[in-house]
Amino acid sequence: MADKTELQYTAEHEWVLVDGDTVTVGITAYAADKLGDVVFVELPAVGSDVAGGSVVGEIESTKSVGELFAPVTGTVAETNDAVVDSPELVNSDPFGAGWLIKVTYAELPPLLSYAEYSALVGE
């Protein structure tokens, strides 16, 4: 994945990598740390339509359950089966192998820069 300073972010602690008309989405290291050890990941089906801001998946840890939000409206183009099989990837490599979904979109909503996200989480 790209350097985290080159990614865009949501207020729901997701990172977004824009590549043409597709975005790759994962949760940030901050979110992964707050969740604790991730033990289960549920992702939407490939081909399903998602609405920006809606809940499209679930990330369970040993201490809580977090929701995965779609940062864009579009169609799920790919899911990361590796995190379904090995949920700990979300903790060990949130900006790389721990990515969650890829969504093909028509319009990109406003997202946060790295500096804006860092200010949001107090880093």
Structural domains of the chain in order of their starting residue, each with its CATH number: 7-106 (2.40.50.100)
Q: What is the pLDDT of residues 29-85, one digit of tens each?
A: 999 999 999 999 999 999 999 999 999 999 999 989 999 999 999 999 999 999 999
**Beta partners for residue 28, in sequence order:** none
Q: What is the pLDDT of residues 43-54, one digit of tens each?
A: 999 999 999 999
Q: Which of 65, 25, 20 is nearest to 41 (CA)?
A: 65
Q: What are phi and psi of 75, to 5 degrees?
A: -120, 135
The answer to whether 100 and 84 have CB atoms below 8 angstroms apart is no
What's the pTM value of the predicted model, to 2 decimals? 0.94
Q: Which amino acid is at 64?
A: S
